[in-house]
A and B are shown apart, each in its own frame.
Chain A
Amino acid sequence: MKLDLRRIGLAVAAPVLAIGVALILATLILLVAGDPVVAVWQVLFKAPLPRQVVAIVNEATVLYLSAVAVAIGFKMNLFNIGVDGQYRVASFAAAVFAGANFLPGWLNIAVAIVISMITGALWALIAGALKVGRGVSEVISTIMLNYIATYLVAFFLKMAAVKVEGSNATSTAVLAEDSRVPGISVNWLLATNNKIYGLIFLAIAVGFIYWFVLNKTRFGFDLRATGQSETAAVASGINVKKMVLASMVISGAAAGLVGMPLLFGQDYAYGDTVQAGLGFAGISVALLGRNHPAGMAIAALLWGYLSQISNGLQISAGVSDKLVLIIQGIIVLSVVIAYEVVRRAGLRLEQRRVASELAAQASTKTEEVAV
């Protein structure tokens, strides 16, 4: 019990430390820029409006899915920077299929989601195969694949686009009414008619599956072992190449889900106005949440909060909302440093504790200990 408290303490210490450092550094930046410090913090710490709360939860839902996709790679020491490209290719494929209305209602949605996962997985598999077959760093290949994804999707979007009267936006066919996932109304709780994405349940399910597979299955054990020590993994009989392919594919499949709440709950089509950069935000959220299913949920909410609340900065404080990007950047940087510091401190602490407990045991037994 005592050990658990210490563990939790250490786990919480790092993000709190990082956020604290980020606030201090952001204040310094404001001072240097001659911006109104007090006004800015008043805006950023103001309780969000009811409609903002819904927006925060919705943004967090999408970010969480992206973070899980990134975390699957992180757990194996793979840096899947390509979630961004993977979810865009996947969303586009799903939007084209769902927009064509081959299937009725819910079936259409379910099959489209599966298609999205498969497309994301295949796109990620390219990077996995390059790494296993040719030793290409997944960092490089996924970044390149992000660019390819951008232009490939733009190219196909032009071909698949449906012309809408009185609009120059390019987009796929709009989903039929019965192929949309209804939002969840929260007007009984909050004074707003805005709805939470129905696919929030998908995010929760993905979080649970992530936790279960990683911690409870043999596959998860192999994956974590490979991430902790590739040499020990090889000696234990794990086929590391297979694991690289498997984790890239699963990460890509999870990335395929990122765009689903947007497609079925908000945009109802894939167009050139679709939100980009979610894959990169997912990296930040995964880092901040320490690849932990609950930690990433909290981090996703924090990220959503910061980006929603930043909208008021320009109006209320006369400061660019880009300030929030700076704060987010500093949080990520400091969190990476803080985790490493806390991790090392934790290991040292435990070594010392084990040594002292053994010494105590030995002296009570009044035995000679050869340690």
Chain B
Amino acid sequence: MTSAETTADLSTSTALAVELQGITKRFPGVVANKDIVLSVRRGTIHAIVGENGAGKSTLMKILYGVQAPDEGTISINGEPVVLKSPTEAIKAGIGMVFQHFMLADNLTVLENVALGAEKLYGIGDAARARIRQISRDYGLRVEPDDLVADLGVGDRQRIEILKVLYRGAKILILDEPTAVLVPQEVNELFDHLRELKSEGLTVIFISHKLDEVLSVADEITVIRRGTTVAAVDPKQVTARQLAELMVGSELPSPQTEESTVTDRLMLELQGVELGTTGQAKVLDGIDLKIHAGEILGIAGVEGNGQAELVELIMGMRRPSAGKVLLEGDDITAAGVRDIREAGVGYIPEDRHRHGLLLEAPLWENMILGHQTQAPNIKGPLIDAKAAKADTQRVVDEFDVRTPSILVTAGSLSGGNQQKLIIGREMSHAPRVLVAAHPTRGVDVGAQAAIWDLIKDARRNGMAVLLISADLEELVGLSDTIRVILRGRLSGEFDPDVVTREQLGAAMTGADSAEGTHNEA
């Protein structure tokens, strides 16, 4: 348990700066955090890793006082505390550096830092001196009179760090701090973090980039599906092992059935690009083909272009180059409604934002996305009677657990919302189904049911694009797996022979050479 790298003496390095016990946070229909256990020793860099949606951000909001936990205790430096607001968290010595900087461009560094903390050192020379002193103490190289608008991303991040130090933080939370940085800046940031650590401060570092976590953290806690699953020593794990912990392996495994792949090409993307000139492309040179009866799985760490790929196929974005073909028809320039009418079903990644009207009754949600299709309409009118009958059928057939089709969609649990969406999309007999993270945030029972539904779709000759972060799901369901990394697709992996280590390596780019050599 001792860390060789800490320069602080042993007594302080073993004392706990932050201790969470049994933290549980429920949102209607979803448990965001469940029995979280976290021990962060003072004077260390502690990384928290997990997939997006695993519950990291909820946990951080709890620690920063933005949300109150339903159960569990928080202790700071051994003292139990109740954090009702960020102000109280700041008082307890916790500072948060957000992923998206909160700086006013047209103000100077001094003004930005002093803003909201005028009581501490005023807004004049005392504040300026304090900023210079902090900058010197931690080697942050921040000049108080610079205009923020003139500064680069790395500088701005250092200002954000200085901002929380200025407010007296002894425990710093950094949310995905490397997401916005180029590699050289990342190394620089890590030097600063080590500097902070050597001054006795505690850093909590949230990330899903495993190689970075391994290089800078003293300890790592892994979160999966809302709960802490392991606390590991970075010196004793590899990136692959960490990736396995992140995506999990003890879940019920979906079983692949006999291949139903046909040679009828349903969906094809040809050289699709998305991006503006001068910046890194979000999607680059995407070529993919899905045949009737085939499930193509796309693996990848979140934020590598999956969401954009889905929105592009659905017509919500236009590619800057390339073509999208639906059974030979060019749908590159078609609108969302045309694409849906042409037979593309859509299970969105974020069902609350893109899949449902949470305050509308279930039967109106059945119409959503199919406003122009039977049985929902009679000419320009909504056929409420037929839509309600159809909703009742879906509720029965797809086992949506609800007391009535008149209740609002928001009152259902996540799994039942998802079953309603899948039932809705299947009801219109799509040729292609685009399923983004179909089992995210749903309970184990519903998960198995959803897998069965997707397998049924495949057996019925649908072409399915399955995007998931759950390797088990991808390996179990897909006929072909490809990995997306920084907007580019890897070669094809055969799910029957690929190992999760190979996929994990391709996903994190830790071993990209191996990934491409394993093309099936």
Q: Do A and B bind each other?
A: yes
Measured CB to CB, the residues of A under 8 A from B are: 3, 215-222, 224-225, 228-229, 231-232, 234-239, 347-348, 350-351, 353-355, 357-358, 361, 369-371
B372 sits at the interface (CB 8 A)? yes
Whether the pair A358, B369 counts as a contact (CB closer than 8 A) is no
For B368, give its contact among A232, A239, A357, A371 (CB under 8 Å).
Answer: A232
Whether the pair B357, A235 counts as a contact (CB closer than 8 A) is no
Whether the pair A235, B316 counts as a contact (CB closer than 8 A) is yes
Whether the pair B369, A235 counts as a contact (CB closer than 8 A) is yes
Whether the pair A358, B446 counts as a contact (CB closer than 8 A) is no
B358 sits at the interface (CB 8 A)? yes
Whether the pair B445, A232 counts as a contact (CB closer than 8 A) is no
Looking across the interface, which residue of chain A has its beta carbon closest to that of B372?
A: A218
Which A residues are in CB contact (< 8 Å) with B316?
A: 234-235
Which B residues are in CB contact (< 8 Å) with A361?
A: 401, 403
17 CB contacts below 8 A, A to B, read: A3-B404, A219-B380, A220-B382, A225-B368, A228-B359, A232-B354, A235-B336, A236-B370, A237-B339, A238-B337, A239-B335, A347-B359, A351-B410, A351-B411, A358-B401, A370-B445, A371-B413
Whether the pair B364, A221 counts as a contact (CB closer than 8 A) is yes
B325-356 interface with A by 8 A CB criterion = 335-341, 346, 348, 353-356
In the A-B complex, list the 3 residue pairs whose CB atoms are closest, starting with the nearest. A370-B445, A237-B337, A236-B369
Whether the pair A350, B382 counts as a contact (CB closer than 8 A) is no
How far, in whole Å, are A357 and B336 apart by their CA atoms in the complex? 37
Which A residues are in CB contact (< 8 Å) with B382?
A: 215-218, 220-221
A-B contact count (CB 8 A): 117
Which A residues are in CB contact (< 8 Å) with B360?
A: 224-225, 228
Whether the pair B353, A351 counts as a contact (CB closer than 8 A) is no
Whether the pair B335, A237 counts as a contact (CB closer than 8 A) is yes
Min C-beta distance of B418 to chain A, whole Å: 12
How far, in whole Å, are A152 and B339 apart by their CA atoms in the complex? 46
Which B residues are in CB contact (< 8 Å) with A238?
A: 336-337, 371
Which B residues are in CB contact (< 8 Å) with A215?
A: 382
Which A residues are in CB contact (< 8 Å) with B377?
A: 218
How far, in whole Å, are A15 and B369 apart by their CA atoms in the complex? 34
Measured CB to CB, the residues of B under 8 A from A are: 28-29, 314, 316, 335-341, 346, 348, 353-360, 364, 367-372, 377, 380-382, 384, 401-404, 406-408, 410-413, 415-416, 443-446
Which B residues are in CB contact (< 8 Å) with A358?
A: 401-403
Which A residues are in CB contact (< 8 Å) with B407?
A: 350, 353-354
How far, in whole Å, are A3 and B361 apart by their CA atoms in the complex? 13
How far, in whole Å, are A259 and B349 apart by their CA atoms in the complex? 49
Which A residues are in CB contact (< 8 Å) with B404?
A: 3
14 further A-B pairs in the complex, CB-CB below 8 A; given A3-B406, A218-B381, A371-B413: A220-B382, A229-B353, A231-B354, A232-B357, A236-B371, A237-B341, A237-B369, A353-B407, A354-B402, A354-B412, A370-B446, A371-B415, A371-B416, A371-B443
Min C-beta distance of A218 to chain B, whole Å: 5
Whether the pair B444, A231 counts as a contact (CB closer than 8 A) is no
How far, in whole Å, are A152 and B353 apart by their CA atoms in the complex? 43
Which B residues are in CB contact (< 8 Å) with A236?
A: 336-337, 340, 368-371
Whether the pair B346, A235 counts as a contact (CB closer than 8 A) is yes
How far, in whole Å, are A339 and B493 apart by their CA atoms in the complex? 54
Looking across the interface, which residue of chain B has its beta carbon closest to that of A230?
A: B353
Min C-beta distance of B48 to chain A, whole Å: 28
Min C-beta distance of B74 to chain A, whole Å: 26
How far, in whole Å, are A355 and B410 apart by their CA atoms in the complex? 12
How far, in whole Å, are A222 and B377 apart by their CA atoms in the complex? 13
How far, in whole Å, are A238 and B367 apart by their CA atoms in the complex? 12
Whether the pair A350, B335 counts as a contact (CB closer than 8 A) is no
Whether the pair B413, A350 counts as a contact (CB closer than 8 A) is no
Min C-beta distance of B381 to chain A, whole Å: 6
Min C-beta distance of A269 to chain B, whole Å: 39
Whether the pair B336, A347 counts as a contact (CB closer than 8 A) is no
Min C-beta distance of A76 to chain B, whole Å: 13
Min C-beta distance of B350 to chain A, whole Å: 8
Which B residues are in CB contact (< 8 Å) with A3?
A: 404, 406
Whether the pair B353, A347 counts as a contact (CB closer than 8 A) is no
How far, in whole Å, are A318 and B84 apart by their CA atoms in the complex? 50
Whether the pair B408, A350 counts as a contact (CB closer than 8 A) is yes
Which A residues are in CB contact (< 8 Å) with B348?
A: 235
Identify the interface centre among A217, A351, A357, A370: most chain B CB within 10 Å of its CB. Answer: A370
Identify the interface centre among A232, A234, A347, A351: most chain B CB within 10 Å of its CB. Answer: A232
Looking across the interface, which residue of chain A has its beta carbon closest to that of B413?
A: A371
Whether the pair A347, B408 counts as a contact (CB closer than 8 A) is yes
Whether the pair A217, B406 counts as a contact (CB closer than 8 A) is no
Looking across the interface, which residue of chain A has its beta carbon closest to that of B379?
A: A218
How far, in whole Å, are A370 and B450 apart by their CA atoms in the complex? 13
Whether the pair B380, A217 counts as a contact (CB closer than 8 A) is yes
Which B residues are in CB contact (< 8 Å) with A231?
A: 353-354
